[in-house]
């Protein structure tokens, strides 16, 4: 057995004492992500590169210590919560842009680079990185790879999987290797594809080769205002059926609009039932007619008004409201629980009605802001965790909403991942044989059960076995065995 002090000393020998966090008060900010789950690790370590990362992983394997990879901690499925305590490996020291190659339209970056900084750097070459999560000012490329992140502008261009060509990774077994490379469609088994979206259960990314795309020649941003969510939902399918794939098509309901307007002052109509935020881009001679057609579809299906951003400033303000809407809900309630189901576009109206009915049945407010174009719903259940029983009601309602998505022919996640919060729902979609085969991939990468445990796949008894030890550890003092 190893004491906490011995563990910290051995981690410090690899990464340097300033790069190891172990005092309980300092660990508080590493016990949660963007969900309502919490668990405090024994220590957090920040390697500088792949070799230090591999050394830390091998040490933890030697000690039988659970490992949890962590980027910026903005995840929304509990993926970076250290459910079995252990050691958190953070990537925040690895945040450089190593190369931008405009001729081949690629960039090589480290995993701790904030998402938005890649597009800002690429803009000088007339390029950008397409995946743009709402948290893109904070979330990191490595975390995006782990969760296969999307974003509002992924409707036409695709999610992280479509924009990452190669990865340098430290496997769960402590080896350093490359998956994929600098060109698309490499021969052989697509281990790069298997790693993206594996939620930190196969290893830790230490370099990423990103595909860059040209900045659009023309952009038109529309805000369509509706009296009801049902009208706005029906319009989504109509626009796609008319032969258009907008760059983005986002929906916000009345509760979300009220919060965004109260907190961000973006000029949203707070009394509207819902709005669609549409963006079309490309060549001006194509975008102009498409914008006119989209406007007509909205008006034909009940829009009371369709506004067009007349400047870059107006466009930025509209997107500020959309990307900041979730945080603005703090004006209404102190806590929220965000869901991430996907449904066919044709089922949006029915599933939105189910979301409303489920929330009402549990006596909860629910705000909705989501990627309407690809049916990726984000119901936000609002509550106050200080109220006895509130969290249990929220989790029960959330499970019912996810079940409604699956029963409508959808899936459990569009971009937030399965993580800890939804792994128990995986049997709704996959057979025991399916799940067994998924589990076998972990062993190939050296994960015998201690690398980001209790995530993605249904967990065994090991995810709860630490609970009975915690009281004894606290009583034994700071140098207790771990």
pTM confidence score: 0.93
Q: How many domains are there within the chain? A: 4
Q: Which of 162, 181, 214 is the last residue of a domain?
A: 214
pLDDT digits over 428-467, tens only? 999 999 999 999 999 999 999 999 999 999 976 457 544 4
Q: Closest Cα partner for 143 from 56, 213, 205?
A: 205
Percent of the chain with pLDDT over 90: 93
Compute CA distances 211 → 75, 99, 163, 414, whole Å: 23, 12, 5, 21
What is the reported pLDDT for 127?
98
CATH of the domain at 415: 3.30.70.2740
DSSP string, 248-276: EEEEEEHHHHHHHHHHH-----TT-SEEE
Taking the C-alpha atoms of residue 130 and residue 214, their distance in angstroms, rounded to an integer, is 10
Give the burial string for 186-224 (b: 16+ CB within 10 Å, else e).
eeeeebbeebbbbbbbbbbbbbbbbbbeeebeebbbbbb
- Does the residue 437 lie in any domain? no
- HEC letters along 91-123: CCCCCCEEEEECCCCEEEECCCCEHHHHHHHHH
Cβ-proximal residues to 425 (8 Å cutoff; 6+ apart), any chain: 399, 402, 403, 406, 412, 418
Examine residue 426 and state whether it is found in any structural domain, yes or no: no
Say what the pLDDT of residue 2 is: 84
pLDDT of residue 469: 43
Q: Is the pLDDT of residue 205 over 80?
A: yes
The alpha carbon torsion through 376, 377, 378, 382 (nearest 10 deg) reads -170
What's the pLDDT at 460? Answer: 60
Same domain, yes or no: 105 and 194: yes
Is the pLDDT confidence value at 223 over 90?
yes
Q: What is the pLDDT of residues 33-55, one digit of tens each?
A: 999 999 999 999 999 999 999 99
Tokens of residue 200, six digits: 């930190």
Residue 279 CB coordination number (10 Å): 25
Each residue of 402-421: b (16+ CB within 10 Å) or e? bbbbbebebbbbbbbbbbbb
Domain boundary pick from 176, 199, 214: 214
**pLDDT grade for 412, boundaries at 50, 70 and 90:** very high
Question: Which domain range does residue 196 map to?
Answer: 97-214
Residue 22 and residue 61 share a domain: yes
Last residue of a domain, one of 373, 390, 420: 420
pLDDT tens for 323-334 read 999 999 999 999
**What are 401-411's pLDDT values in tens digits?**
999 999 999 99
The tokens describing 6, both together, are: 């011995």
Sequence-ordered strand ranges (E) for 144-242: 164-171, 176-180, 203-211, 213-214, 218-226
Does residue 145 fall inside a structural domain? Answer: yes
Residues 414 and 455 in one domain: no
435 assigned to some structural domain: no
Question: In this predicted model, what pLDDT tens digit does every residue of 431-440 receive, in sequence order?
Answer: 999 999 999 9
């Amino acid at each position: 057995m190893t004491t906490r002090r011995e563990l910290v000393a051995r981690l410090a020998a690899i990464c340097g004492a300033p790069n190891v966090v172990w005092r309980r008060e300092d660990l508080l900010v590493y016990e949660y992500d963007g969900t309502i789950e919490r668990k405090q690790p024994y220590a957090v370590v920040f390697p500088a590169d792949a070799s230090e990362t591999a050394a830390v992983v091998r040490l933890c394997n030697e000690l039988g210590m659970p490992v949890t990879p962590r980027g910026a901690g903005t995840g929304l499925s509990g993926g970076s919560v250290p459910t079995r305590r252990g050691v958190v490996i953070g990537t925040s020291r690895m945040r450089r842009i190593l190369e931008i190659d405009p001729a081949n339209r690629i960039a090589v970056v480290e995993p701790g680079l904030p998402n938005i900084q890649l597009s800002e750097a690429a803009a000088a070459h007339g390029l950008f990185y397409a995946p743009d999560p709402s948290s893109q000012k904070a979330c990191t490329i490595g975390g995006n790879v782990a969760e296969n992140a999307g974003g509002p502008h992924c409707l036409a261009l695709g999610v992280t999987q479509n924009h990452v060509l190669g990865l340098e990774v430290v496997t769960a077994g402590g080896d350093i290797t490359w998956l994929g490379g600098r060109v698309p469609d490499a021969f052989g088994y697509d281990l790069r594809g298997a790693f993206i979206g594996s939620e930190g259960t196969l290893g830790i990314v230490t370099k990423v080769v990103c595909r860059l795309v040209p900045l659009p020649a023309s952009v038109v941003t529309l805000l369509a205002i509706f009296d009801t969510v049902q009208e706005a939902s029906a319009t989504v399918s109509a626009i796609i059926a008319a032969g258009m794939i907008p760059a983005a098509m986002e929906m916000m309901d009345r509760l979300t609009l009220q919060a965004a307007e109260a907190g961000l002052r973006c000029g949203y109509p707070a009394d509207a039932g819902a709005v669609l935020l549409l963006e079309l881009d490309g060549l001006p001679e194509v975008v102009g007619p498409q914008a006119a057609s989209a406007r007509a579809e909205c008006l034909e299906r009940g829009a009371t008004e369709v506004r067009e951003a007349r400047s870059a400033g107006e466009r930025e303000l509209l997107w500020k409201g959309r990307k900041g809407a979730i945080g603005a809900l703090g004006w209404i309630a102190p806590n929220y629980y965000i869901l991430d189901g996907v449904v066919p576009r044709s089922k949006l109206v029915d599933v939105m009605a189910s979301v409303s009915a489920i929330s009402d049945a549990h006596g909860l407010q629910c705000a909705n802001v989501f990627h309407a174009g690809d049916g990726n719903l984000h119901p936000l259940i609002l509550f106050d965790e200080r109220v006895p029983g509130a969290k249990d009601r929220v989790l029960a309602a959330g499970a019912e909403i996810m079940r409604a998505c699956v029963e409508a022919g959808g899936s459990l996640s569009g971009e937030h991942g399965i993580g800890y919060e939804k792994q128990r729902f995986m049997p709704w979609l996959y057979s025991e044989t399916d799940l067994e085969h998924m589990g076998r991939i972990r062993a190939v990468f050296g994960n015998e059960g201690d690398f980001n445990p209790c995530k993605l796949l249904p967990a065994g008894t090991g995810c709860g076995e630490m609970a009975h030890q915690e009281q004894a550890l606290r009583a034994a003092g700071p140098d207790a065995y771990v």
